[in-house]
Amino acid sequence: MAYEALRDDFADEEQLPLQQRRDPPVVTEKKTPRVVSLDVFRGLCVFLMMLVDYGGAVVPIIAHSPWNGIHLADFVMPFFLFIAGVALAIVYKRVPDKVDATWKTFTRVLKLFLLGVFLQGGYLHGITSMAYGVDIERIRWMGILQRISIAYLIAALCEIWLPCGMRRRSGLYSPHFWRWCVALLLCSIYLGLLYGLYVPDWDFKVSDPNPASNSSYVYQVKCNVRGDLGPACNSAGLIDRYVLGIDHLYPKPVYQNLKECNKSKDGQVPKGSPSWCYAPFDPEGILGSLTAAVTCIIGLQFGHILVQIQDHKERLSSWCLISISLLVSGLFLALLGLPLNKPLYTISYTFVTSASAGFTFCTLYLLVDVFGHRSLTSILEWMGVHSLCIFILVTSNIALIVIQGFYWKNPKNNIVHLIISCLLRQ
């Protein structure tokens, strides 16, 4: 399965007592037991994703921040990336054949990326349309699973090929020095492109939203700047427009909710708004995938501590130390002028959300794996084990599309349409 490497499953045979096996007793290295808190954390992420996707329209404060700042929805993606990194350290704690492990990684990544294109590329039109299919000239190439797959690939290659020593008294970071060097290199490339690329004026064409009209409008965005972090003239959008093509970006970016765009309740940007309000922008673009990989590498460090340290207290103290360091660094960068920004996936945003993921993981680990309160989180644990299936059925609207396929006399007379109409009236 494409997502199997994001879970830390172990063979049942390794968990059987020796006397139940047919083979003669031999001295074997004991496998690390399953970390239940990791499943609970993954299930919590799935629950938060469902909450913000369907509840964000009713309670806007939990939806994605229009640009700078962090809302509840902005923690979901970094949490998933963090979990992927932790699981990687467990999956690849022993790599007997690096070439074979690399090929398997590429296979998983390709499957996950293609699944993301199918789910979020525009083929499934969502709950407001019963049609399906997408013009290949307008298919969206990037998305949630695509970003996870790219970050997972970078972190997995680091784990497979870079040397790793056992942790000693020399510190938390020295055994994994080269992985932190990769993270630093990714951050440096990100900052160089974010502030160093020159963004010229650019224009784009938008079709008339009226289905009966075949006309289109051409808008021009004036930039001629370097290092701008606004929604109109940032270098992340420039890279995506040149590499992916403007027609392959997300057509309804969250920055349309800014006051400057005057977005109406029916989701339309009125005439007279700034030209960039009509432009597509991909929040899971190419440049932000570099820092997304850094989040995955940070999770990898947490996974190394989990694998190499057996004492609960020492694990928690090490995790908290890293989380506090990341939180202080992220807030310091924000004070220096690098905003917390999810669409750009800034470094300050990377550090703060990774620190939040670390604190959350510590809390769940203490609750579930140390104190053993699994009954309190059993539902989240189940959701975590079946996270990919839930993502496909619920967060990608497939379940809702199936439900609204049953109607009374008219296609609009279905349960989903009734609930949405009631919410809009309120």
Identify the pLDDT of residue 9: 40
Quote the pLDDT of residue 348: 97
**Cα(119)–Cα(105) distance, rounded to whole angstroms?**
21
C-alpha 385, offset from chain centre: 17
**pLDDT value for 210:** 60
- pTM of the model as a whole: 0.86
Q: What tokens appear for 305 in the block? A: 């501590």
Q: Which residues of 300-314 are buried (b: 16+ CB within 10 A; e: fewer)?
A: bbbbbbbbbbeeeee
What's the CA gap between 124 and 132, in Å, rounded? 5
The Cα 31–Cα 35 span in angstroms is: 12
Element (H, E) at 43: helix 36-55
**8 A C-beta contact, residue 114 and residue 223:** no
Contact 275, 231 (CB under 8 A): no
Spatial distance between the Cα atoms of 134 and 140, rounded to a whole number of angstroms: 9
Phi, psi of 217 (to 5 degrees): -120, 140
What pLDDT tens digit does each residue of the chain (426 aa) get? 444 444 444 333 333 333 344 444 444 444 546 789 999 999 999 999 989 988 887 888 999 999 999 999 999 999 999 999 999 999 988 888 999 999 999 999 999 999 999 888 877 766 566 556 677 888 899 999 999 999 999 999 999 998 765 555 445 555 678 899 999 999 999 999 999 999 999 998 887 666 556 667 888 999 999 999 999 999 999 999 999 999 999 988 999 889 888 887 767 888 888 999 989 999 999 999 999 999 999 999 999 999 989 899 999 999 999 999 999 999 999 999 999 999 999 999 999 999 999 999 999 999 999 998 888 889 999 999 998 888 888 766 777 777 766 777 776 677 766 766 665 565
- pLDDT on residue 403: 73
Stated length of the chain = 426
Predicted local distance difference test score (pLDDT) of residue 35: 83
Please give the pLDDT value at position 338: 95
pLDDT at 10: 35
